[in-house]
Chain A
C-alpha cells in the first residue's frame, strides 16, 4: 500500500533563508507525488506535482521539489522564504494503479521576520 512520511512536525526558518520540507514515500508502482499547502481556516491548495521527467519540479509561489528515486524522497524547497509562506504543508502520493491520494501528516512551516 502507498504511504508517505513527513518526519518533521514543524520547520522554523528566518525570512530570506532557504527552506526545505521533507517527504519520503513508499509505493509499489510508479509514484505520482504532490505537495499541497493549507493556510489557516482554508482548504488545501495545490502547489506542484511530479509525474515523470525532470526530477526538479517547479510550482506555485516560487516553490520547487526534487524527486529522488533512490532515496524515495520528494522534498519541497524554496530558495528564499517569506513570512507569508508560513502554513501547513502536506505531501501526498498516488500509486499509478490507484486513484486516491495518501497524505502525510503535514509539516508546519514557520518563517520568522
Chain B
C-alpha cells in the first residue's frame, strides 16, 4: 500500500494568497483527519471526516480555513487568504473509522507564508 499521500510536500506563498493542500487516504479507510503542527502549539486536530462527511470541525482556527472531501479517495484543506501565522506543517491521516482505529499519517506539507 502506498500509504497516505499528501501534496505538495512544500509550499511557499505570500500573505493573502490562496493555498490548497491535498490528501489521498489509504484505500479502504473511511475516516480522514487534518492536523497542524507548530513548535508553539504542538499537534492540533483541525477537522475530521467519516464517510466523506465532516464530523468535527471545532479545531478549524477561523473562516479562512475550509476542508472538503468530495469522495473517499481525496480531500483538500484550503486557506484563503493565507497569513504568516498559518506557517506550519499540515498532516493528513486516515483510519478505518471503526474503533479502535489506528490513524496512519502522511508525510505532511510544510507551508511557509511570507
Contacts and interface: CB of A to CB of B under 8 A. Distances in A.
A105 interface: yes
Nearest to A31: B100
B91 A105 contact: no
Interface of B: prevailing SS: strand
Contact of B100 (A42, A44, A51, A100): A51
Size band of the A side of the interface? 10 to 19
Size band of the B side of the interface? 20 to 34
A70 interface: no
A99 B100 contact: no
B112 to A, nearest CB: 14
Nearest to A46: B102
A14 B112 CA distance: 36
A101 B44 CA distance: 10
Interface of B: 4, 31, 33, 42-43, 45, 48, 50, 55-56, 91, 93, 97, 99-108
- The 8 A-B residue pairs whose C-beta atoms are closest, nearest first, are A43-B105, A32-B100, A44-B105, A51-B100, A103-B43, A43-B107, A105-B42, A43-B108
10 contacts: A34-B102, A44-B91, A44-B105, A45-B105, A49-B100, A51-B100, A90-B43, A94-B99, A100-B56, A101-B103
